[in-house]
Amino acid sequence: MTGVPPVHHITDFAEQLARQAGDLIRRERDNNTLRTDYKQQTELVTHADVLADEMITGAIRERFPEHRILSEETMPDLSQAEQLDTPLWIVDPIDGTVNYAYGHPQVAVSIAYAEKGRVRAGVVHAPFAGETFRATLGGGATLNGQAIRHSGATVLRETLFATGFPYTKDELAPLIRRLDVMIHHCRDLRRIGSAALDICWVACGRLDAYYENVSPWDFAAARLVALEAGATAGHFSAVPQGYPEDLWGRDILVSAPGIYDELRRLLAAA
């Protein structure tokens, strides 16, 4: 099958793949077949990451051979996000690999679909929690089929935020400054370990805000879920000219609309 079907069909296909990948990574962990390694000497990767990535990308290539794929484990070429002429799939087979390796449940499969740099469909499936977030551009966002909305937070002091930290520890100083500012202005911090779930939790009101530096596969699907749930998403630093904002992962901020501007000012100043 070639060409581009209606976007809701794309979302259905993405959800099907995410659920299949979720079943795979559950089996791998339940069967105690977990094998770990490191990429670039710092970032943990498991055998299940690779198996799930190959399963998802293989199915996409079979159904849409003319589409491009940006995936964390098998095709992590970020320049793919700059080529806007052909539809692009953005895949993270296991977002929260360290959680996965340690037996924590905050793990997600993330699949997004973009045309001309604009994400039009996104699915984030949490297999251990049994939760599936999905969104289509202009079609709203759901959790297990039920419509979701952001928290509606307006008072920064009463907000709960999430963030994450890089595997490499060479440039922690600015991150610590931002963390210090956020802790002093918000209610509290949650460190969940999966950017995709952090953002989806903003979308459904479990969190009020999230910020971090991440890669497109970590956030592309979840960002659409948040936007379609009425949250505000953007950046607290400039996006390079010509780069699609939907896929630029540096200094991203997602929050309830009522606190977004204040958070953006605080983080930019920090």
Residue 262 is labelled as binding a ligand: no
Locate 34 and state its tokens.
């977990």
Residue 92 is labelled as binding a ligand: yes
Residue 218 is labelled as binding a ligand: yes
Residue 53 is labelled as binding a ligand: no
Residue 170 is labelled as binding a ligand: no
The SS3 call for residue 118 is strand
Locate 14 and state its tokens.
């993405």
DSSP H helical segments within 94-240, as ranges? 97-102, 173-185, 195-203, 216-228
3-state helix vs strand vs coil in the chain, percent to 5 = 40, 25, 35
What's the one-letter identity of residue 68?
Answer: R
Beta-strand runs (E) in 127-220: 131-136, 141-143, 146-147, 160-162, 188-190, 209-212
Per the annotation, where are the binding residues? 72, 92, 94-95, 218
Per the annotation, where are the binding residues for Mg(2+)? 72, 92, 94-95, 218
